[in-house]
């Protein structure tokens, strides 16, 4: 994981200062963790286990349409983001800092992203710097745990992802699951990103209500259709779960039983079964 101590922007400095303060007071759950790397083909995966996050709430199917972030604690709030979003610190974290970019009004997490979402995401990425990424877990089958529409923001992995290699031209890899990956427009222009997203969703037959993930960094954007957000595996009470970060090998677990379950099932088998198996002819 890239170090958060090499602070480069004002917003990043604010996020880390508030993150550390809340963590020290026991109001934000985070513990430093070491990555466990498991070699795979076509790319390696990297696990982080945080047992203190076993108490994280999980309510992705809430039908009340009550805003999930209505009562944001001011100490968790970082800034308002135009036109309709707020950037806050996540309370349950695997990395430092870990943030949530949510709509100020209630919108369902199962809805497709809008131009507003891309305007907010590109603004936040420009203000945080090129080391950060945004992901969207579109619905419970894409790894979401909250029904209110939100994106997550955190540091990109320091080891360089398979998507970095493909877009940068350093490797020719055929991913085992269906996806679309393309170079992002210069300057993360929101109109361009939104157009790319709509094209990718159309090509992948993703409509509103269909589970999918989006990953966005300065250089590229990736969309992946999902079939499930959880697989039982061999070990009881240790489900195989993951959001968009899992699809490039960033795997965040709550127990060592989960790690063993992932190893038995086969990490690349899990990621493939999370989505749609890619056609050999592609």
Closest CA relative to residue 49, chosen from 256, 187, 211: 256
Q: What does pTM read for this prediction?
A: 0.93
**Residues of the chain where predicted confidence (pLDDT) is lower than 70:** 1-5, 57-68, 70, 280-282
Q: Are 70 and 147 in contact (CB under 8 A)?
A: no
Q: What is the pLDDT of residue 130?
A: 94
Q: 109: number of CA atoms within 13 Å, CB side?
A: 33
Residue 215: Cβ within 10 Å count: 24
What CATH number does the domain located at 10-55+75-274 have? 3.30.428.70
Provide the pLDDT for residue 56: 75
Burial letters for 25-57: b for 16+ Cβ neighbours within 10 Å, e otherwise?
A: eeebbbeebeebebeeeebebbbbbbeebeeee
Using a pLDDT cut of 90, give the percent of the chain over it.
Answer: 85
Sketch the domain layout of the chain as residue ranges: 10-55+75-274
**Total residue length of the chain:** 282
- pLDDT number for residue 3: 53
pLDDT at 1: 46
Q: Which of 115, 154, 114 is nearest to 134 (CA)?
A: 154
Residue carrying the six token digits 């950060």:
132
* pLDDT value for 61: 59
């Amino acid at each position: 994981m890239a170090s958060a101590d090499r602070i480069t922007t004002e917003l990043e400095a604010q996020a880390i200062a508030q993150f550390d303060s809340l963590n020290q007071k026991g109001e934000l759950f985070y513990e430093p963790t070491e990555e466990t790397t498991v070699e795979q083909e076509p790319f390696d995966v990297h696990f982080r286990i945080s047992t203190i996050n076993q108490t994280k709430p999980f309510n992705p199917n809430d039908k009340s349409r009550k805003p999930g972030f209505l009562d944001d604690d001011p100490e968790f709030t970082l800034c308002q983001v135009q036109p309709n979003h707020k950037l806050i610190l996540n309370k349950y974290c695997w990395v430092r800092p870990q943030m949530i970019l949510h709509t100020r009004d209630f919108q369902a997490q199962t809805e497709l992203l809008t131009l507003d979402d891309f305007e907010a995401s590109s603004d936040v990425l420009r203000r945080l710097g090129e080391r950060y990424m945004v992901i969207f877990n579109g619905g419970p089958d894409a790894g979401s745990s909250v029904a209110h529409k939100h994106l997550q923001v955190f540091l990109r992995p320091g080891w360089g992802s398979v998507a970095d290699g493909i877009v940068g031209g350093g490797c020719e890899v055929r991913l085992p699951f269906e996806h679309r990956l393309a170079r992002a427009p210069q300057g993360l222009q929101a109109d361009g990103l939104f157009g790319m997203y709509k094209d990718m969703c159309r090509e992948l037959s993703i409509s509103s209500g269909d589970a999918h993930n989006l990953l966005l960094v300065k250089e590229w954007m990736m969309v992946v259709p999902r079939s499930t957000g959880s697989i039982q595996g061999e070990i009881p009470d240790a489900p195989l779960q993951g959001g968009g970060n899992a699809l490039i090998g960033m795997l965040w677990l709550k127990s060592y039983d989960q790690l063993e379950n992932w190893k038995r099932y086969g990490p690349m088998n899990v990621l493939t079964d999370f989505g749609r198996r890619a056609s050999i002819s592609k």
